[in-house]
Structure 1
Amino acid sequence: MKKTTISNVSHFVGQEVKIGAWIANKRSSGKIQFLQLRDGTGFIQGVLVKNEVSEAIWEAASTLTQESSLYIIGTVREDSRAPSGYELTIQDVSILQIAQDYPITPKEHGTEFLMDHRHLWLRSSRQHAILRIRNEIIRATYAFFNDQGFIKIDPPILTGSSAEGTTDLFHTEYFDRDAYLSQSGQLYMEAAALAFGKVFSFGPTFRAEKSKTRRHLIEFWMIEPEMAFIEHEESLEIQEQYVSFIVQSVLERCQPELKALDRDLSKLEKVTAPFPRITYDEAIQLLKNKGFDDIEWGEDFGAPHETAIAESFDKPVFITHYPTQIKAFYMKPDPEREDVVLCADLIAPEGYGEIIGGSQRIDDLALLEQRYQEHQLTDPAYEWYLQLRKYGSVPHSGFGLGLERTVAWITGIEHVRETIPFPRLLNRLYP
């Protein structure tokens, strides 16, 4: 007898196997018990027929409750009606624990209740599907950048200052000085790119924004590539190739999960490079044509604006060349027009908003020093960042992709709180 997992039962059709599992649900029709089993790798139905097992086994199975744990011994058989294509004909059960009064039942529960029980809600088929897709996006991210010659560099989470201001940072004490939780690893990744050429990071970032929208988390994960000798247009090509790669990887490897979420696959199938590009100027005009008469040049876009722009395209769309005044100090001005910078935000379809922000970075020391003065960045903690332009400066570009927003878009779910195992929200630090 082979010990296996639900995800691997296809290799054992007609054979007897042993699986460790939990009861996701259960029903009975007199002489047959139907056990909905999960083991972390998938879900499968086990069928127990009374006249095919001993009385002791039948009675033991009758005591099983939702989330009870057990070992199942059964024969794998194909069943085209089953979601996984397979079922188990059960010969034996060995109970590990009978769960009592499991709080999340198959009935409807409110969001706050489910969030209070997030540690248990993770076991549901919907959350299982979402987080498996998240895992596939992470796997595909490593595959893409490793294949493209990038190396992974880990920037610090604790920083001595913020070159973009500290209003949205979490403050802590670092022995005898102030420190902050990182908003982004980008500045450190620039240093790494000038050492290794092409690098990427993947780690947690923190924003102390008092926001309650469906797009915002307090703690979230970012993928931040940085590339030496790469200019603006080249960076956009890498971004669209990367996003196309992760979407196609999910389509190829996560069909059961997408089906469980009722995701419209036709929308994802359109996500192939190249992506459309419009300038900020063109975006302003598009919005005015759609009735946003109050939007003026020089204003940043909010969620309604991004959604309206995305509705004009069936793929993610780049908005390029934002006004210098609303973008970060380190973004390189367009050589032909200094009031805009060589940057782009990638807006996802279907109202999911910005998933990537990126730019070509300033590589001229004098200009960066000027930007420091304009933004009143006098903190010596970032003197090292200026030195990157002093010793072998080169054209370089980078971008950051927010993992949770990307998961929300690809899975088609409404709120980012379901895209991370234990979300940190304005009013939530538990569990």
Structure 2
Amino acid sequence: MLVRIDRISEHVGQEIKIGGWLYNKRSSGKIQFLQLRDGTGFVQGVLVKNQVEPEVWETAKQLTQESSLYVWGVVRADERAPSGYELDVTKVEIIQLAEEYPIQKKEHGVDFLMDHRHLWIRSPRQRAILKIRAEIIRAIQDHLNQQGFTLVDPPILTPSACEGTTNLFHTKYFDEDAYLTQSGQLYMEAAAMALNRVYSFGPTFRAEKSKTRRHLIEFWMIEPEMAFVDHEGNLEIQEQLVAHIVDHVLNHCQAELKTLGRDLSALEKVKAPFPRITYDEAVELLHREGFSDFQWGDDFGAPHETKIAESFDRPVFITHYPTEVKAFYMKPDPNRPEVVLCADLIAPEGYGEIIGGSQRIDDPELLAERFEVHRLPKEAYAWYLDLRKYGSVPHSGFGLGLERTVAWICGLEHVRETIPFPRMLNRLYP
């Protein structure tokens, strides 16, 4: 029976069989050290020449990087080993002898690594990132499920846009125009009227010609929507979710975070409640910090978000943005209609916005007015207006960008490493 590397601690002193790949190999003449990986972890196999059959030694000598193989050996605890264990190898069977591997120990350029992304993800660093991504997804779904949310799947092809069609991918749906979704939010609002608390988790697409380290063309969004939840309740749900995600990763991904060299002290500070400042206060902060040309009504860019975040040791909410810079569906503040009941959650350490959310307009007349202001076709959004005609209630929601969240928690420079096969402005391969 095969034993996974992440389970070898259960077999100390026993001979086991592992199926995996050769990550690296070195030899001191009479000893061969095989760095083995099987997708669940890494372990070193030690092959001593005078302790194995000659054919086993010769078989191991043939091995090339990323050759696939079965290895038999006795598990031994070793505090010096990165995994805490080593394998005293007794037998080796080659499954496939790999050709010369393109990715070597030397430094490679980003374009080369991205061209070989299908192989690059085998490396310890990339594996660690993808494992953390998976645990973040697990944490999100576990938390939302425990809080009474129901998973609902919105369509990928839509007849209209959530926030205008400027940055959408257009396609033909037989004889009609259609778009790849930029958000499942509008459909989640409909689902919330049926199921109370819902969320979607799926790919979204933005046809933005952006090359920044924060942008992808295809990315994944978690979009909860809640009936009978106001602006304040929305913020509390968001901060509880993010605090849970970080706590989960700290508890389940210590080895992966160590591989990445992540500063854990920065993550350990992420506890709810999060600080909150209004858009007005954020503008005043920027003026004090030298951004004197920033005008009230402007939207924040990456440098502005970074400067604001530097004043806090955990994520910070920026609330009450000007109505004119936000989406048509956001509810104006009844006490100050020129701003809306919304918030962006800005991650620390310069990672920018990871969540955008708001209380939604629940008044059918006001929503119809917003259609006019934003020049949205009434026929395309008639179903959305129906939600306000037939039992409208106060409701709120938000969208969490998975890749930006992964980048922040992992401490990555660019979001391209946060997704298995990134789609960027000039990259559709592999």
TM-score normalised by the chain length of structure 1: 0.99
Q: Which residue of structure 2 aligns with residue 295 of structure 1? A: 294
Partner letter of residue 389 of structure 2?
Answer: K
Q: Which residue of structure 1 aligns with residue 230 of structure 2? A: 231
Unaligned runs of 5+ in 2: none
- What secondary structure does 1:338 align onto? strand
**Number of residue pairs matched?**
430
- What secondary structure does 1:288 align onto? helix
Q: Which residue of structure 2 aligns with residue 42 of structure 1? A: 41
Q: Which residue of structure 2 aligns with residue 3 of structure 1? A: 2
Q: Which residue of structure 2 aligns with residue 67 of structure 1? A: 66
Q: Which residue of structure 2 aligns with residue 176 of structure 1? A: 175
1:322-333 paired onto structure 2 within 5 Å: 322-333=321-332
1:80-229 paired onto structure 2 within 5 Å: 80-229=79-228
* Structure 1 position 163, deviation (Å): 4.4
Partner Cα distance (2:108, 2:79) in 1: 32
Partner Cα distance (1:60, 1:84) in 2: 25
Q: Which residue of structure 1 aligns with residue 375 of structure 2? A: 376
- Give deviations 1:133-177, integer Å, cap 9, x for gaps: 000000111100110000000000000111422110000010011
Contact 1:163 1:377 in 2 (8 A): no
* Structure 1 position 380, deviation (Å): 1.0
Contact 1:3 1:18 in 2 (8 A): yes
Question: Does residue 388 of the first structure (1) align with residue 387 of the second (2)?
Answer: yes
Contact 2:162 2:182 in 1 (8 A): no
- What secondary structure does 1:388 align onto? helix
- Give deviations 1:374-405, integer Å, cap 9, x for gaps: 11112412110000000000000000000000
- What secondary structure does 1:245 align onto? helix
Contact 1:163 1:382 in 2 (8 A): no
Partner letter of residue 341 of structure 1?
Answer: V
Contact 2:204 2:218 in 1 (8 A): yes
Partner Cα distance (1:81, 1:379) in 2: 68
1:322-361 paired onto structure 2 within 5 Å: 322-361=321-360
Contact 1:161 1:379 in 2 (8 A): no
Partner Cα distance (1:393, 1:241) in 2: 27
Q: Which residue of structure 1 aligns with residue 53 of structure 2? A: 54
- What secondary structure does 2:409 align onto? helix
Partner Cα distance (2:310, 2:370) in 1: 36
Q: Which runs of 4+ in 1 moved over 4 A?
A: none
- What secondary structure does 2:380 align onto? helix
Unaligned runs of 5+ in 1: none
Q: Which residue of structure 2 aligns with residue 273 of structure 1? A: 272
- What secondary structure does 1:315 align onto? coil
Partner Cα distance (2:81, 2:308) in 1: 41
- Give deviations 1:42-89, integer Å, cap 9, x for gaps: 111111111110110000000001000000101111111111111111
Partner Cα distance (1:282, 1:121) in 2: 44
Aligned residues with identical type, % of pairs: 73
- What secondary structure does 1:114 align onto? helix
Q: Which residue of structure 1 aligns with residue 311 of structure 2? A: 312
TM-score normalised by the chain length of structure 2: 0.99
- What secondary structure does 2:389 align onto? coil
